[in-house]
Amino acid sequence: LSLKFGDVGNLKGLVIRFLLTTSYYQLSVQNWFSLHRLQLLYNHSIQATFNATRIYAPASYSYHCEHVSSLQRYDALLIPSSANDLSKLWEVTFTDFQVMSWN
């Protein structure tokens, strides 16, 4: 899932990419989806990559959280994927975040 923005302040061509995965769990007898990774792209180049933690739900439902963020004060569900990339230069926070998968 990609969100493309035209002009956002000084950022022209900003794209926020959500990489979702699905898995079947026999115990619950249903598919679940999870937000696996979040990427920030600028000028067609990946600027930051965050691994997502604890963001999952049954595929027939949505996931909702007051804050999904890379900041510790919001319990940091988005963790920089590497100490060597530019992720540490970015702070990402979504307020009233909701996502749902589809087939």
In the chain, what percentage of residues exceed pLDDT 90?
Answer: 66
More confident residue, 98 or 82: 98
The CB density around residue 91, as the number of other CB atoms within 10 Å, is 11
Looking at the chain, the number of H-run helices and the number of E-run strands are 0, 10
For the chain, the domain total comes to 1
pLDDT of residue 62: 94
- Return phi, psi of residue 99, to 5°: -140, 145
Region 17-31 average pLDDT: 92
pLDDT tens-digit readout, 47-86 = 899 999 999 999 999 999 999 999 999 999 999 998 777 8
The domain of 61 spans 2-99
Residue 9 tokens, joined: 């302040």
* 29 beta partners: none
Residue position matching structure tokens 């067609």: 44
pTM of the model as a whole: 0.87
